[in-house]
Amino acid sequence: MQILDTRVPAVLLRIDRNPFHHGTLGAVRSLGRAGVEVHVVADSEGSPVRRSRFVCEMHPPPPGSSTADIAAVLRRVAARISRPAVLVPMDDASALAVGRMGEDLTGGYLLPRQPGRLAERVADKAELAAVCASVGVPHPVTLIPESPAQAAAAAWQLGLPVMAKWSRPWLIPAGTGLRSTVVVRSAREAQDLYLRGAEAGSPLLLQAFLPPGPDRDWFFHGYVGRSGTTHGGGAGRKHLSWPRGAGLTAVGRWTPNPELETLVERLTTALGYRGIFDLDFRRDGTTGRYHLLDFNPRPGAQFRLFEDGGGLDVVRALHLDLTHRPLPGPAPLPGRAFVVENYAPLGALRPRPAGRELAWHAPDDPAPGRAMWSLWTRHVPRRLTQRAARLLSGPAASQESDDATAGGAPGLEAAVTEALEEVARPVEGPAAGGPDPTVVRPRGEAVARPGTRTVPAPAPPPAPPADAPAGSLADSLADDEKASSH
């Protein structure tokens, strides 16, 4: 393991109040095992993370998600620690807030020097397509409707079903029942979703649907240091995701992929990106091209998959680089696996092979794993009861999911089904994809973003077929929101 500068503490910042965010626990353990003093600014109410023996101190989260709220909390924490600390944002909202504060934090924190507001550009799903077009990275065709009628027309133009996303999902208020990502199966659903834009706080996007299949879902993690070199990550393949085919990685494996590495290097180099990143890709089964779906300017929840033979991961790489310690060359461990026990219980129960890490259980830090299962056994039945009540109340309500506070946990029926299916089949489910990186606002004359081609605004078909019927309980659960932890 690299020798980190243990005189410099680390502060992990998480605004999302998801108690089941295993990525935060992974960062606590990674730095704590290296002897770094770890402070966590997050909601600790019921969170298993607070039980970790590697947590030096838990600090209350900001009362709101505004930049001023976050800045005030970070100043208080910096004063308490009384020496500069490496700051690690663990979710999109905190990463973007830290990026906006920039120089205001330099007195108390060590941060990568990110050009301008690049983090906001790549995290905004409406901006990401233009970014991809500018550097030649495939991205799903993306339409931005500006009225309910245009939302319906865009759904027909793309071809149902389509993926619907909110441009800035971190702005979705808790309690709305809105998902960050949802499968839209009818024009009426697209219209209804568009009408909730004021609640979501950002524009609705519709993206083309790419049929599922084996070997389609990939991710790439890394840390781009001051020199512009990427460290501490690699390419991984999702063997199981939750929800199926459109959610966080429940079982993943480190799988070298030179084509993906080339795409990522092209993207980060062209942008001048600095810091930790987590990218999600979907491979088109027809063309074989990898389409970038999400660019997260912070650690992905499964970043611990990429701890290499020298003990380096993206969080340790960040700490080493910002404290001006040497960053070693890569020592990849292809085949290493990562399993999130509460989403893939059968995967966690199998005999433990070499090179596999569990998200919650660790022999040197067992308390968080025990706390997670205690919380989970109470949470899942409550979640299933809430979901069943919504499904029984009507088709419109069946499209809703629990807010971010619920942690994106599956209902009992779907969780058991997913676990039993894990061994027998590849990842399945909806995905977004398409041949050209295009963004269009269908509003009379379409407006294309720089670097994209212009597409005529879609017009509603003269006689659209009837809307598709609502799915079963299992289908609705499987189409749940893409969790913010990736």
Q: Which segments in the chain show pLDDT lower than 70?
A: 1, 245-246, 351-354, 394-486
Q: At what angle do helices 125-135 and 258-271 cross, to 10 degrees?
A: 100
Q: What is the pLDDT of residue 354?
A: 67
- In angstroms, rounded to a whole number, what is the distance separating the alpha carbons of residues 322 and 85? 10
1: Cβ contacts below 8 Å, ≥ 6 apart: 33, 34, 310, 311
> Do 40 and 49 touch, CB atoms closer than 8 A?
yes
121-156 pLDDT, tens digit per residue, is 999 999 998 899 999 999 999 999 999 999 999 999
The pLDDT assigned to 1 comes to: 63
Phi, psi of 249 (to 5 degrees): -80, 115
From residue 260, alpha-carbon distances to 225, 292, 303, 318 in Å are: 19, 10, 17, 22
CA torsion 428→429→435→441, rounded to 10°? -160
* Dihedral sign (CA 170, 173, 179, 184): negative
CA dist 236 and 444 (Å) reads 42
Residues 17 and 114: their CA atoms lie apart, in Å, by: 26
Q: What's the pTM value of the predicted model, to 2 decimals?
A: 0.82
Spatial separation of the C-alpha atoms in residues 200 and 184, rounded to whole Å? 16
Residue 334 has phi, psi (to 5 degrees) of -60, 140
34 neighbors 8 (Cβ within 8 angstroms): no
pLDDT at 391: 73
- CB of 19 closer than 8 Å to CB of 375: yes
Closest CA to 98 of 33, 191, 13, 208: 13
